[in-house]
Amino acid sequence: MKKIVLTSIVVLATSTALMAGVNPGACKGCHGHAWEKKALGRSAIVANMTHKEIARVLIAYKTTKETDEMVMKTQVARYSNDALKAFAQTIGK
Ligand code: HEC
């Protein structure tokens, strides 16, 4: 437990520096306050995804051509891959 808390603090500190404004407030309308919702009735529940998986999909959305994924493309387009990776460490499991 202690280790988990410490890790979270380190991750938070690093991500705040790198994040350049990934603003989770903008996500929660669709994904829920605890990332517990299926966004627009069709996404996976992000709370159940691993950090690694989240990082991978967020970066992939930047270059997607899938119509269904355009909603997420517009959400992540402005962020660097590093910012998305760092942010992914703060959500999911
Ligand atoms: C307008 C509603 C909306 C907003 C705002 C939104 N999302 Fe999404 N999100 C979706 C939808 C819909 C999907 C599923 C898209 C698809 O078909 O791949 C999704 C998928 C995802 C996934 C992958 C889950 C899966 O299905 O594989 C992640 C992670 C995610 N969003 C994170 C975020 C983050 C982080 C933000 C804020 C920066 C955000 N979302 C903002 C609607 C939204």
pLDDT in tens, 47-87: 999 999 999 999 999 999 999 999 999 999 999 999 999 99
Q: Does residue 2 have a pLDDT over 70?
A: yes
Amino acid 21: pLDDT: 66
Handedness of CA 43, 48, 49, 54 (dihedral sign): positive
H-only helix segments in the chain: 2-18, 25-31, 51-61, 70-76, 81-88
Nearest CA residue ID for atom 2, ligand 1: 30
What are the boundaries of each domain within the chain?
2-88
Amino acid 19: pLDDT: 46
For ligand 1, say whether the CB of 88 is within 6 Å of any of its atoms: no
Nearest CA residue ID for atom 35, ligand 1: 27
Please give the structure tokens belonging to residue 51: 């950090």
Amino acid 62: pLDDT: 97
Unique residue bearing structure tokens 């270059």: 63
Per the prediction, the chain carries an average pLDDT of: 89
Interval between CA 83 and ligand 1 midpoint (Å): 16
